[in-house]
Amino acid sequence: MDRPFFIGNRKRFYEKMKPHSLLVLFSGEEVRKTNDENYPFFAERNFVYMTGIEQKESILFALKGDHDVREILYMLPPDPMKERWTGRRLKPSEAEAVSGITDIRVSGQFSEDFHAVAAGGHYSVIPENYESLYLDLFRVELSERERPSHGFLRQVQANYPYLNIESATTILRQLRLIKQPCEIEAHRKAEQITREGILAMMHASRPGMYEYQYKAEFDYALAQHGPEGPGFPSIISAGRNNFCIHYYSYTGKAEDGDIVLNDVGAQWDGHTADVSRGWPCNGRYSERQKLLFDCMLQTSNHMFDIVKPGMRMNDVDRTIRSYNAQLMVDAGIMKDVSEIGTYMWHGGAHHIGYDVHDLVERPELIAPNMMFCIDIGIYHEEWGIGFRLEDNLLVTENGCENMSASIPRTTEEIEDEIPHRH
């Protein structure tokens, strides 16, 4: 992504802010792993979407008056000793080149600046009374650890109770729903790299291969394109482990005849692909495996035929389920469509982008430049077969595009890529 992308994102956000309001976004902090070791830092995606900055302990502070907006970026100051141990920090000129923000200050100055503004004093010799504060307070569950925004909220409530708290998350969800051209191009590159990773696993596949060996093939292929690597923890499983939907152990072995399931995606310039394929480790599908796979494939192809602008988003999941159920009845796998819950365990569509399950406002109607997955999973425990077929969909002006179509997705295409081994 380039500087105009981040400048434009902020401009669109500011247009949705109320007059006389403030915005504070945090990049996040490192999380302790053990003793003196931290987990690798991963910047808040909303902060990156607005600034392009992925450095810890950075803060975006924006002040909107009646019409004009002032913005400040706070960052860690130079520290030769710390940089010697943990790497160089961005210089103000570098941060400006990425974000387009010209007023860049050291992070320790933020508290003083915020107090001067929130307390109703003079800021840049211009008196201004601010009434609202926008914060990104999203958490999937209340039990999750707090992020800097939650601690800051408590400080604000204690010291500036007259500030009305507004949801920055709501606006960001709206903005992130529609992808811009540079995002779509970044996603195409992520798809290309994902293809190479999946093909590497297919080409190496053999009975007796461990899941961690498949993962090593995937990771190596992605590493040839840079350090971003997978956009989320790879799901790579074999045999009975396929019945754990989010499986991360990588300890199982693919026995002759087992299906290898993977749900993986490369990240490129912040955008993450999300693709699932399932293949027999020995290179040849059994009749039952083909039967189930054909139901998935027909359902997926049907969805790519019918999705277009104006379709209800809720109908995507509903149609995937009902269409696949009828195919399974017609194939003699089930007696009645009401049994589909025995074999389909999860939804069939989620948005993708800066997050693999993208933080967007789920739309009522589909519109051009939305991106989401078409994900069909079948888990037949009695037959010992579990796999899914997941592709990435881009909504176009008149229909849609399968962005991962070049990754082998029929039984014939997949068998052509896997050595026939016993």
pLDDT in tens, 90-112: 999 999 999 999 999 999 999 99
Listed residues 176, 210, 228: the one ending a domain: 176
271/221 same-domain check: yes
Residue 372 within any structural domain of the chain: yes
Chain length of the chain: 422
What pLDDT is attached to residue 128? 64
> Dihedral through CA 47, CA 52, CA 57, CA 62, nearest 10?
-60
Residue among 263, 268, 175, 181 at smallest CA distance from 215 = 263
Distance between CA 183 and CA 388 in Å, rounded?
A: 26
Which DSSP string corresponds to 49-66?
Answer: HHH----TT-EEEEEE-S
102/231 same-domain check: no
The region, left, alpha or beta by phi > 0 then psi within -120 to 50, assigned to residue 234 is beta
What pLDDT is attached to residue 421? 64
Q: What are phi and psi of 404, to 5 degrees?
A: -110, 25
106/207 same-domain check: no
What pLDDT is attached to residue 143? 84
Residue 116 within any structural domain of the chain: yes
The number of distinct structural domains making up the chain is: 2
Residue 332 within any structural domain of the chain: yes
Residue 273 within any structural domain of the chain: yes
What pLDDT is attached to residue 125? 41
Distance between CA 261 and CA 384 in Å, rounded?
A: 13
Listed residues 176, 205, 234: the one ending a domain: 176
Listed residues 176, 196, 220: the one ending a domain: 176
What DSSP state is assigned to residue 126? Answer: E
Residue tagged 């999937």 (tokens): 140
Report residues of the chain scoring pLDDT below 50: 122-127
214/157 same-domain check: no
7/134 same-domain check: yes
CATH of the domain at 203: 3.90.230.10
- Find the domain containing 111 and state its range: 3-176
What pLDDT is attached to residue 122? 43
Positive or negative torsion for Cα 269, 364, 409, 245:
positive
164/219 same-domain check: no
Residue 130 within any structural domain of the chain: yes
Residue 323 within any structural domain of the chain: yes
Residue 422 within any structural domain of the chain: no
Could you tell me the pTM of the whole model? 0.93
Q: What are phi and psi of 273, to 5 degrees?
A: -80, 165
221/368 same-domain check: yes
CATH of the domain at 29: 3.40.350.10
287/156 same-domain check: no
Residue 36 within any structural domain of the chain: yes
172/183 same-domain check: no
242/334 same-domain check: yes
197/155 same-domain check: no
91/197 same-domain check: no
